Amino acid sequence: MTQPFAPLANDRFLRALRRQPVDHTPVWIMRQAGRYLPEYRATRARAGSFLKLCKTPELACEVTMQPLARFPLDAAILFSDILTVPDAMGLGLYFAEGEGPKFERTIRSRADIDALKLPDVGSDLRYVTDAVTLIRRELGGKVPLIGFSGSPWTLACYMIEGGGSDHFEHAKALLWDDPEAAHRLLDLIARAVTDYLSAQIQAGAQAVMVFDTWGGALSIGHYREFSLRYLQQIAANLPRQHNGEQVPLILFSKGCAHSLEAMADTGADALGLDWTIELGEARRRVGDRVALQGNIDPVVLYASEAAIVQEATRAIQSFGNHPGHVFNLGHGIHPAIQPHKLKLLIDTVHSESRKVFGTR
Amino acid sequence: MTQPFAPLANDRFLRALRRQPVDHTPVWIMRQAGRYLPEYRATRARAGSFLKLCKTPELACEVTMQPLARFPLDAAILFSDILTVPDAMGLGLYFAEGEGPKFERTIRSRADIDALKLPDVGSDLRYVTDAVTLIRRELGGKVPLIGFSGSPWTLACYMIEGGGSDHFEHAKALLWDDPEAAHRLLDLIARAVTDYLSAQIQAGAQAVMVFDTWGGALSIGHYREFSLRYLQQIAANLPRQHNGEQVPLILFSKGCAHSLEAMADTGADALGLDWTIELGEARRRVGDRVALQGNIDPVVLYASEAAIVQEATRAIQSFGNHPGHVFNLGHGIHPAIQPHKLKLLIDTVHSESRKVFGTR
């Protein structure tokens, strides 16, 4: 299906992901539609619950658009939750007041794994693809829209633990004690994620990102065997050609700077980075194979304006005058951050990169 | 002062730290005297509070000895808390029921920093050095005794935040907003830590370790400037010659495998490692400059006995037939672990390393 979407006015984000020159470094921010914005909190209150916000396309569209009205961001990202896929697999996602996500049912045994089925993305996750199409129309070509999913390993952590966890005792014990069952589970999730991202692309997503929030909790050996392998499976199987263009795939394994070269070998178009590696060093390590997205510590937004300008400038200078950088934080923006500080950060990235590129 | 301590029967730990051959890889375990042991919980209950346990040399000695009665460990480590130094600087350490450590007073301003004084180790921390001497006597030369301290950056985090923290907003903001004041604070703490470790060595500690639990929360640039720099200051200034022998210094910055070479350049004798790097890879990177201590994920002790044997064997084989390895977990043993699993881990390290060394 081809939707009559408006042509793209600002393509810096897609150009940077394709390692083409841009006049300034494009910026988007993880959780840019989030609790630090009073207008988000108002919509969230009106929705009644976080899940209602995620599952109502009109509300998801509304909050997705909010940061774009305030800030000169170069991309929009679908407002959703990383746990939509296990919820669609029947685990019963819910949010207890003041706590993180939880599942009514957990996956602990081979029988649990064998009973799992691929979700029917067209029906069970229709609310997400409807939101994607609605947002894409609402954007009117202003900036590109990013779709996303949690990674197989990260989703498996939540499915096995039944929610967040400090140490992932049950999830890690499965890797050690029954690696065959773990591989079956991860393969199933990887197939579901591939279907899910493909449906988001069909619905209008112009780039897609996989968040591997808990990759860094694993040893290198387990990261490669149980997380990276399934990121690679997604990269190999996701149909990325759409309407004659390649839809870029961004992989982000937090805390996994140890495996950048291996991640670049997956065939992904770009890698997310946190602040435990210098951008310039990461660029030297992966060369021209992938674009890089990141990477300053979101905690800098608690510091002074001078510190924010200094850190953003340092990041831009570290990457240098090369194509292939999308600026972002190294993790989501915190709820306590004052919005004007994010504005300063974005403006600084734009102006400092123009200096570096000689495009002032 | 020279104490009439008994000669050392098992010197594998000290030999490994000096990169001398041993018949089997020595093992000790972070938090080996801890809540996973019923006898520890009994002494802790009798003491009435955790701080009472730390501050009463006889009780600290009692719990230090407990794991040695159960397991063939190759070293003892002083039972204490990493926050004794800021407590001695007047911050008022306390433990709220069911919560982590907290300070009555926090360090937030230049005035707070300027008002801080070096503790008088001989009086304010006498309970620690008394415990060291008592434990050393009680050990009777069975295995060596390790003394320890928190690192300047890690102690500063607690002092600034007033307790544990998810994101270290205040501590990191100080680094960005007033680096000069941060350096003054870190220098003062480094001098206090140096005095403290020196006093532990004088009292009988046969090796000393600095725990930089939060080094990995920093960007590489900030890690080098605000954490590693003060580990280096300690390594340079700590008098390590005692009774004609060099007392080894072990540095452990968790989550900082990115900076192993720089850590080896500090002049420390050994580096602690967590499970985000392979032992063999770490050994290749630091060469013969330092011994290595670590490194398997403590969560493996929740898995099956077969998994524990497999992971321990993998670690021993990864390091290979070279001198300079002390086996440990990559972080402290968890309170929920069954003691017999730790026994299996220790026995496996001993027997597998004998195979690798050809000393069966």
Q: What are A31-65's pLDDT values in tens digits?
A: 999 999 999 999 999 999 999 999 999 999 999 99
Angstrom distances, CA of residue A215 to CA of A10, A33, A130, A209, B56:
33, 24, 30, 15, 42
Classify residue B142 by its DSSP letter: S
User: Cα separation of B360 and B353, whole Å?
Assistant: 9
Contact criterion met (CB < 8 Å) for A278 and B221 = yes
Angstrom distances, CA of residue B23 to CA of B13, B158, B360:
11, 41, 8
User: Cα separation of B103 and A161, whole Å?
Assistant: 33
Q: How many CB atoms are closer than 10 A to CB A294?
A: 24
User: Cα separation of A47 and A56, whole Å?
Assistant: 9
- Any bridge partners for residue A329, and if so which? A296
Angstrom distances, CA of residue A290 to CA of A210, A251, A270:
15, 10, 5
Lookup: tokens for B126: 């006498």
Q: What is the distance in angstroms between the Cα of B297 and the nearest Cα belonging to chain A?
A: 7
| b/e per residue A238-251 (b: at least 16 CB within 10 A) | bebeeeeeebbbbb
pLDDT at residue A2 in the model: 53
User: Cα separation of A129 and B54, whole Å?
Assistant: 58
Angstrom distances, CA of residue A212 to CA of A38, A215, A250, B134:
28, 6, 11, 49
Query: B73 and B346 in contact (C-beta within 8 Å)?
Result: yes
| A3 has pLDDT over 70 | no
Residue B142, amino acid: K
Residue A96: pLDDT band with limits 50, 70, 90 = confident
Q: Is the peptide bond before B237 cis (omega within 30 degrees of 0)?
A: no
pLDDT at residue B3 in the model: 56
Q: What is the distance in angstroms between the Cα of A156 and the nearest Cα belonging to chain B?
A: 17
pLDDT at residue A269 in the model: 98
- pLDDT tens by residue, A133-189: 999 999 999 999 999 999 999 999 999 999 999 999 999 999 999 999 999 999 999
User: Cα separation of B59 and B131, whole Å?
Assistant: 9
Residue A45 makes CB contacts below 8 A (sequence gap 6+) with none
Q: What are phi and psi of B3, to 5 degrees?
A: -90, 150
Residue B280, amino acid: G
- pLDDT tens by residue, A224-233: 999 999 999 9
With beta carbons under 8 A apart, name residues in chain B contacting A177.
303-304, 306-307
A345: closest CA among A78, A70, A147?
A: A70
Of residues A11, A15, A74, A81, which has the active-site annotation?
A81
Angstrom distances, CA of residue B212 to CA of A142, B138, B252:
47, 29, 6
Contact criterion met (CB < 8 Å) for A304 and B277 = no
Residue A354 makes CB contacts below 8 A (sequence gap 6+) with A23, A24, A360
Q: Find which of B165, B172, B177, B219 to mutate to test the A interface (most A CBs within 10 Å of its CB).
A: B219
- Any bridge partners for residue B146, and if so which? B77, B207
Q: Which long-range contacts (CB under 8 A, 24 or more apart) does A159-166 make?
A: A159/A86, A159/A89, A159/A91, A159/A103, A159/A106, A159/A107, A159/A185, A159/A189, A160/A106, A160/A107, A160/A108, A161/A106, A162/A102, A162/A103, A162/A105, A162/A106, A163/A99, A163/A100, A163/A101, A163/A102, A163/A103, A164/A100, A164/A101
The helix or strand, by DSSP H or E, that contains position A51, with its residue range, turns out to be helix A50-55
Distance from the first to the final alpha carbon of chain A: 41
Q: What is the distance in angstroms between the Cα of A65 and the nearest Cα belonging to chain B?
A: 28
pTM over 0.95: yes
With beta carbons under 8 A apart, name residues in chain A contacting B303.
172-173, 176-177
User: Cα separation of B59 and B157, whole Å?
Assistant: 28
| A1 has pLDDT over 70 | no
The helix or strand, by DSSP H or E, that contains position B242, with its residue range, turns out to be strand B241-242
- pLDDT tens by residue, A313-324: 999 999 999 999
Counting as low any pLDDT under 50, the low residues of chain B are 1
Of residues A36, A158, A196, A230, which has the active-site annotation?
A158
B315: closest CA among B290, B355, B279?
A: B279
Average pLDDT, chain A: 97
Q: Find which of B167, B178, B276 to mutate to test the A interface (most A CBs within 10 Å of its CB).
A: B276
Distance from the first to the final alpha carbon of chain B: 41
B132: closest CA among B68, B54, B187?
A: B54
Please report where in the chains the tokens 């691929």 appear, as a residue. Answer: A118
Q: ipTM surpassing 0.90, yes or no? A: yes
Residue A97: pLDDT band with limits 50, 70, 90 = confident
Task: Pick A220's closest partner by Cβ from B169, B278, B311.
Answer: B278
pLDDT at residue A99 in the model: 83
Of residues A19, A35, A126, A285, which has the active-site annotation?
A35
Q: What is the distance in angstroms between the Cα of B187 and the nearest Cα belonging to chain A?
A: 22
CA quadruple B122, B126, B130, B132: dihedral positive or negative?
Answer: negative
pLDDT at residue B32 in the model: 98
Lookup: tokens for B187: 């220098």
Query: A113 and A107 in contact (C-beta within 8 Å)?
Result: yes
Contact criterion met (CB < 8 Å) for A277 and B220 = yes
Length of chain B: 360
| B344 burial via Cβ count (<10 Å: 0-12, 13-18, 19+) | middle
pLDDT at residue B82 in the model: 95
| b/e per residue A120-147 (b: at least 16 CB within 10 A) | ebeebbebbbbbbbbbbebbeebbbbbb
User: Is A15 annotated as catalytic?
Assistant: no
Query: A310 and B176 in contact (C-beta within 8 Å)?
Result: yes
SS3 A211: strand
